[in-house]
Amino acid sequence: MLSREQELELIDMLRGVHPDEFGLDEELWTRQSLTTLIQRRFDLPLDAGAVGAYLRAWGLGPREPRERACGLCVSAVERWVRSEYPAITRAAQEHLAEVYWIGRVRLRGTMPAADVISAVSSRGRVRFMITTPTVDPPLPRDFVLRLSGEEQRTVHLIVDGSWPRNEWPRRLPRRIVLHPLPSCGRAIAA
């Protein structure tokens, strides 16, 4: 297990950097790339399950769509999942694309505080980056592009209420399709 000091050091190491900057073969942080970094940095052989526990503690595990909504939007999200989401998954299957649910959480207990932008695939794969929070930052274009990868895969991204549509990246390649999760406009970063 990481000590609290090692965990905070790890979070600081991840701020604003991507795995490829550490010589790792990933576009964004994953459980596997984080496992490798922990082994290299702390000489601590953690298994993927233990690293997954850290990610869940940081708020980066799979969540139900209703958990991504503020209390005022739960019924709208449930309707959206029944009416809109099936068409998104069909389109993704036709394009051999991945579907990701994108959101933001705030890591408390770090100095300075950290925002974690995460994407969880419909298969449960978590990809993320850690940033230093600023006042209402837009959805980072670099994060969205990295989800498509060097192979430039087609991806369908369901964006929760963490960012209003006017804060989404503009002029994205056609292979990246953004879908808004219903939101009343209140930020839901935790």
- Give the chain's length: 190
Contact 37, 20 (CB under 8 A): no
Position 122 pLDDT exceeds 90? no
Choose the weakest-confidence range: 78-92, 121-135, 157-171: 121-135
Do you find a cis peptide bond into 112, omega within 30 degrees of 0?
yes
pLDDT of residue 185: 59
What pLDDT sits at residue 94?
Answer: 94
Number of Cβ within 10 Å of residue 23's Cβ equals 9
Q: For residues 74 and 66, is the Cβ–Cβ distance under 8 A?
A: yes
Read off the pLDDT of each residue in 86-103 and give the average, rounded to a whole number: 95
Contact by Cβ (8 Å): 158, 121: no
Q: Residue 121 and residue 99: Cα distance in Å, rounded?
A: 6
- Domain coordinates in residue numbering, the chain: 4-57, 65-180
The average confidence (pLDDT) of the chain is: 89
Grade residue 136 by pLDDT with cuts at 50, 70 and 90. Answer: low
Q: What is the pLDDT of residue 128?
A: 95
Confidence of residue 106 (pLDDT cuts 50, 70, 90): confident
Nearest to 13 by CA among 32, 29, 31: 29
* 82: its two tokens: 């029944």
What is each CA distance from 128 to 34, 77, 143, in whole angstroms? 10, 23, 8
Token pair 């990610």 in the structure block, residue: 55
Please write the tens of the pLDDT for every residue from 9-55: 999 999 999 999 999 999 999 999 999 999 999 999 999 899 999 99
Indicate the burial class of 50 (C-beta count within 10 angstroms; 0-12, 13-18, 19 or more). middle
What one-character-per-residue DSSP string does 144-156 give? HHHHHTTTT--EE
- Say if residue 187's pLDDT is above 60: no
Residue type, 128: F
Element (H, E) at 131: strand 126-131
